[in-house]
Amino acid sequence: MDVDAPRSVLRAFADLDDPRMDRTKLHRLDDILTVAICAVICGADGWTQVAQFGRAKQAWFQTFLALPNGIPSHDTFGRVFALLDPAAFEACFMRWITGLATASAGRLVAVDGKTIRRSLDAANDHAAIHMVSAWCEANQLVLGQLATEAKSNEITAMPNLLALLDLDAAVVTIDAAGCQKKLAKQIVDQGGDYLLQLKGNQASLHDETVELFDHGLRDDCQGVAYTTAETTNGGHGRVERRRVWATGEVGWFAERGKWAGLRSLIRVEARRTVDGQTSCENRYYISSLPADEPAALLRYIRGHWSVENQLHWCLDVSFADDQRRVRKGHGAENFARLSRIALNLLKAQTRHKVGLNTKRLCCGWNHDYLLRVLTGDDRGL
């Protein structure tokens, strides 16, 4: 067994500043980080469980960690992560993830926010932590995450998060909250393309796009050239049909010059039939991508929801994000970051065809498998 393997993960965090005063440092920061990451991978969902895991595995940890005063208490874990600068922790996370993620042309980067509901601390007037994440569908990796500022919303965090990412030749998808001129310009300036959902927050553009498609389609878009594509899938009594219309004729729009790189307007009709009952919803988008490949546009639009299905759902179900009662200082945000580190490492184990919960149990049962997860060795069990 390569007992130095956990150090390969921790190298990315070697420059992280220790927030404690020297006289209070009974435990090394790298030991604390190693135990915490391993514990969260193996199923720990709070500082008490992290400490209990460390004590249960103390003999194993002592084969490669210093542990001058044994395993830290749960209070020590909580205090250190409450003090740890989340921006510095995120910078280290980004350095680590850069070595894992493969940058490919046309890759989808879905940006979306999620509230950690139990982080609300009403007694001390602290709002629940809202994390904005960037998810790469192709690599199944969290590329970065930032918390919104206190008493603010995710729009304030999105520009800072995008600035941390390599967007060269990527396609960034954001829901209607992120349909902002500044974000569109930033994505284009960083070498990427955008596909942004339209709603009432961009009233003029939204209303004119709705008019163009919903009314114009009755008369073949009133002479406006467009492309179209559709997909149908289903199962278990459910049939979903999606059709996309896209036009590259955006010159008529009065504010077109204010949207950097605007090349297409898009409408998607989602028709769903479940047990004989049919519902229909229309959604509208703008994009810097051309309109001549509607099937690709539809793939990106559908792919955006992977941030919900593959990231947020996994964090809620497998990592109990919404149930965790970590509230002190930066603890909630930093524990959320530990969860995303663990998720990235577990997702990288693609040959082991079991669910995340089973992978976490296997890591706790089998030290060799845990080491392979830590080092990105995709041999499974």
Is residue 234's pLDDT more than 80? no
One-letter-per-residue 3-state SS of the chain: CCCCHHHHHHHHHCCCCCCCCHHHCCCCHHHHHHHHHHHHHCCCCCHHHHHHHHHHCHHHHCCCCCCECECCCHHHHHHHHHHCCHHHHHHHHHHHHHCCCCCCCCCEEEEEEEEEHHHCEHHHCECCEEEEEEEECCCCEEEEEEECCCCCCHHHHHHHHHHHCCCCCCEEEECHHHCCHHHHHHHHHCCCEEEEEECHHHHHHHHHHHHHHHHHHHHHHHHCCCEEEEEEEEECCEEEEEEEEEECCCCCCCCHHHCCCCCEEEEEEEEEEECCEEEEEEEEEEECCCCCCHHHHHHHHHHCCHHHHHHHHHHHHCCCCCCCCCCCCCHHHHHHHHHHHHHHHHHCCCCCCCCHHHHHHHHHHCHHHHHHHHHCCCCCC
**What is the per-residue pLDDT for 220?**
61
Is residue 1's pLDDT more than 50? no
Higher pLDDT, 268 or 93: 268
**What is the per-residue pLDDT for 186?**
97
Cα gap 257→263, rounded to integer Å: 11
Is residue 227's pLDDT more than 60? yes
Alpha carbon separation from 234 to 242, 274, 301, 303 (Å, rounded)? 11, 10, 18, 16
- Of 145, 136, 202, 137, give the one whose Cα is nearest residue 175: 202
Query: Using one digit for the tens of pLDDT, what is the confidence trace for 111-147?
Result: 998 887 766 666 666 667 788 899 988 888 888 888 8
Query: Using one digit for the tens of pLDDT, what is the confidence trace for 138-177?
Result: 888 888 888 886 555 778 889 999 998 889 999 999 998 8
Choose the weakest-confidence range: 18-22, 108-112, 262-266.
18-22
Mean model confidence pLDDT for the chain: 85
Higher pLDDT, 55 or 374: 55
Cα gap 334→93, rounded to integer Å: 11
Is residue 225's pLDDT more than 50? yes
Arithmetic mean of pLDDT, 191-210? 86
Is residue 317's pLDDT more than 50? yes
Percentage above 90 pLDDT, the chain: 41
Which residues are CB-contacts of 283 (< 8 A; sequence separation ≥ 6)?
197, 267, 268, 270, 301
Rg (CA), the chain: 23
Is residue 2's pLDDT more than 50? no
Is residue 277's pLDDT more than 50? yes
- Of 357, 373, 329, give the one whose Cα is nearest residue 19: 329
Cα gap 362→379, rounded to integer Å: 13
Query: Using one digit for the tens of pLDDT, what is the confidence trace for 247-265?
Result: 988 887 777 788 999 999 9
Arithmetic mean of pLDDT, 90-105? 74
**What is the per-residue pLDDT for 4?**
53
